[in-house]
Amino acid sequence: MSRMFFVLLVAHSVCCAADLTGNWVVRDPLPDGTVRRTYFDLREERGAIRGHIRTRAQHYEITESTGGSEGFTLTGTMHDGSNIRTTKYEGKLVGDELHVSPPRRLDGPLVEMVAHRTQAGEGAMPARLPLPILHQVPANGLANTPPMGWNSWNKFASKVDDAGVRATADALVATGMKDAGYVYVNIDDTWEAERDGQGNIQTNKKFPDMKALADYVHSKGLKIGIYSSPGPNTCAGYEGSYGHEAQDAKTYAGWGIDYLKYDWCGARNIYQDEDMQAVYQKMGDALRASGREIVFSLCQYGKDDVWKWGPEVGGNLWRTTGDIRDSWDSMAKIGFGQTDIAPYAGPGHWNDPDMLEIGNGGMTVNEYRTHMSLWSILAAPLLAGNDLQHMQPEILEILTNRDVIAIDQDGAGKQGAPALKEGTKEVWVKELAGGAKAVALFNRADADATVAVTWTALGLKTTPKHARDLWLHKDVKLTGPTYSAVVPAHGVVLLRVF
């Protein structure tokens, strides 16, 4: 197999023919009309190569190198909180071009470009802007129950486009999901282009008219959401809101946006984790001043105990964890780990263990029922992440189970918590409005198992008079001080008792 190389464009005013010293850039055109830029700011000194590498939302310091212009390797390191990320490149100087092989293939075709010189400093991280003094952002009165809808990332990632969003809006209506409560149609990363001469954010070729798209979604009785980052770039390397918070908020309002997911990714190159509250406050203030009611979703992976200050910055929901994957291990680790933060959830402000993976194919039907049950016990946002146009009936039944959704959307706004943990057996309980309780018996084992619990362990003095199995859609007869059920492997029995 032939080796693929990037050809980098030199951007340094003085450079010797056999010297790597300079600021180099590769421009990789993408099908959406944007250009992915990777920068190599290099200097050769004392037999080593020093400098920085900037690619997408990452900014690496070169910490190791070998060789020189005839052949070299570069290892870049960046610190992301307590995590250390590394990247490695190999390359050589060919005439006035720098040929570099990336650590992995980037999006789009690899295009050789003619070397040219540009101004020194291109691609450098922007200067750190001062942070505002902390204050309380007034509550916006939105999200009195956990938001429900759909997000593009889990299934479509960078393939999301105008036509797909319109088709999803149609599917929400046609499948009955809208009537079940799913109203937000949220566009995740990769919709952005660069800014115009006045600094206004533009959409790329995939989204020719965001205002027209929002109007279409609204015409279906739905709401529309969008995505950005407080950094210069988003996670996927597109334009972020850094230094343009108020301007972007007004743009979103003008388009008719109803929901903003604001992702920390690109901000970590400029700010520290302890800066998060002030950074998110800037956008919280901007949304309040935009003239439109916009739900504010904080996506920063549960860092810096966000649940303690999320409401202070105007947040309606905040991620409590890293990204979910469509697997039992990922879902279970995240969902069953939400045990100590229940007191911070309530009307208008919710803990968010990430979006639903139901229907994406990586789990069984029983595991997806567990996913839906656990998120509902947690009073978590229910944001479907699958292809709504091509759902199996059992997936649609899981997503539109009105009894289970009612547990999530209960007006008391309480987040549930575990009442019993015995190895792979767990029983969770959630207080509901009117004195009822939701009780979930989970079996995390790989084989069917009997799960039992006493009513007193659930805070009940006597046996409930009524119980309904929310997945079997039938009443359950209760006798005695203990309830038990055979629960399938990785499955759940979910009851409403009163």
So which residues are the catalytic ones?
A: 263, 323
Measured CA to CA, the distance from residue 189 to residue 262 in angstroms comes to 10
185 contacts 168 by C-beta, under 8 angstroms: yes
DSSP readout, 226-279? EEE-SSSB-TTS-B--TT-HHHHHHHHHHHT--EEEEE-GGGGGT--GGGHHHH
29: tokens are 């055109």
Distance CA 187, CA 166 (A): 11
The DSSP bridge partners found for residue 53 are 40, 60
Contact 71, 92 (CB under 8 A): yes
Residue 279 backbone class (left: φ over 0; alpha: ψ -120 to 50; beta: rest):
alpha
Give the Cα-Cα-Cα angle 50, 52, 55 (nearest 5 degrees): 150
Contacts (Cβ under 8 Å, ≥6 apart) of 55: 38, 39, 87, 237
DSSP string over 160-184? --HHHHHHHHHHHHHTTHHHHT--E
Cα–Cα distance, 13 to 28 (Å, whole number) = 23
Helix (H, G, I), strand (E, B) or coil at 363: coil
Pairing of strands 437-443, 449-454: unpaired
Q: Which residues are registered as beta bridge partners of 59? A: 54
- Around Cβ 211, how many Cβ atoms within 10 Å? 13
Q: List the Cα angle 365/371/374 in 5-degree steps.
A: 140
- Going by C-alpha positions, the residue among 403, 464, 445, 475 that lies closest to residue 453 is 464
